[in-house]
Amino acid sequence: MEDKLRHLLTELYKETPCMPIVVRLAWHDSGSYCARTKTGGANGTIRFSPEADFGANNGLGIARNLLEPIKKAVPEVSYADLYQLGSVVAIEFAGGPKIPFRFGRKDLPQEKCSPDGRLPDATKRMPHLREIFSRMGFDDKGIVVLSGAHALGRARKERSGFDGPWTSDPLVFDNSYYQEILKEDPDPKLLRLASDMALLDDAENRKLVELYAADKDAFFKDYVEQHVKLSELGMMA
Ligand code: HEM
């Protein structure tokens, strides 16, 4: 099953470069996790209303629709696994690291949709990001490392109210996100959210940003570790 899924996902990305939105879909499914109540997580409920209709999830129906023919071709895969595998194959396809993947996420029913407000607000800085990410079980390093996924993709006015990509090549997964947020003379065509610039607020976090900007391998190594954790949130619950 894994080989077939990887093949179908790779064919999709060759035809339609939707890697960024699939990465966002997977993260918005799993990022609803609450470690205290053991609710939310990578469980496929993002495809149901009301979760699908939360403002934070605007546009993600596009990713779900693109993945649906693959679910039809391999019905034994859960949506939760398909979204997460879609994300790791997307990152690898875009030049990022190879991320280990385990199957076994269960799809939960519509009644188990996560409540609204569990995903981060892009207009806020570290205190808010800490509150959101610590609920999932991440520390500051997790926030700094996972934000590097904004090397991929862009914001769209009609989806989030923001506009533009973070990097000059938004279909390539590399460490350029960190290089861009450190620039004193930012490229006006590129996006910087308050939540991106928040990574520079604390000296320790800034040091990490500087390390990742200078050393792609160090970023990839830490990214793999944090992404595996993100992709498995709620998996064992
Ligand atoms: C740190 C807090 C975060 C905030 C506030 C945030 C916010 C946003 C916003 C506002 C967008 C634009 C959505 C649109 O207009 O379509 C976006 C896109 C995106 N985000 Fe995040 N994000 C965060 C963390 C993450 C994480 C942890 C990941 C993955 C590990 C991620 C992956 C992406 C990707 C790949 C896109 C591009 C989607 C596309 O091109 O369609 N983000 N994010």
Q: What is the DSSP string of 50-106?
A: TGGGSGGGTTHHHHHHHHHHHHHHSTTS-HHHHHHHHHHHHHHHTT---------PP
Stated as kind and residue range, the H or E segment containing 222 is: helix 216-231
Catalytic residue check, 28: yes
- Any ligand 1 atom below 6 A from CB of 191: no
- Any ligand 1 atom below 6 A from CB of 122: yes
Locate CATH 1.10.520.10 in the chain: 2-118
Residue ID of nearest Cα to ligand 1 atom 23: 147
Catalytic residue among 7, 28, 128, 227: 28
- Any ligand 1 atom below 6 A from CB of 30: no
Q: What does the alpha-carbon distance between residue 8 and residue 33 come to, in Å, rounded to a whole number?
A: 28
Give CATH for domain 2-118.
1.10.520.10
Q: From 124, 98, 112, select the one nearest 48 (Cα to Cα).
A: 112
Locate CATH 1.10.420.10 in the chain: 126-229
**Confidence at residue 237, expressed as pLDDT on a 0 to 100 scale:** 55
Residue ID of nearest Cα to ligand 1 atom 37: 153
Q: What does the alpha-carbon distance between residue 144 and residue 224 come to, in Å, rounded to a whole number?
A: 13
**Confidence at residue 123, expressed as pLDDT on a 0 to 100 scale:** 98
Q: What does the alpha-carbon distance between residue 29 and residue 104 come to, in Å, rounded to a whole number?
A: 15
**Confidence at residue 236, expressed as pLDDT on a 0 to 100 scale:** 77
- Any ligand 1 atom below 6 A from CB of 159: yes
How would you write the pLDDT of the chain (237 residues) with one tens digit per residue? 999 999 999 999 999 999 999 999 999 999 999 999 999 999 999 999 999 999 999 999 999 999 999 999 999 999 999 999 999 999 999 999 999 999 999 999 999 999 999 999 999 999 999 999 999 999 999 999 999 999 999 999 999 999 999 999 999 999 999 999 999 999 999 999 999 999 999 999 999 999 999 999 999 999 999 999 999 999 975
Give CATH for domain 126-229.
1.10.420.10
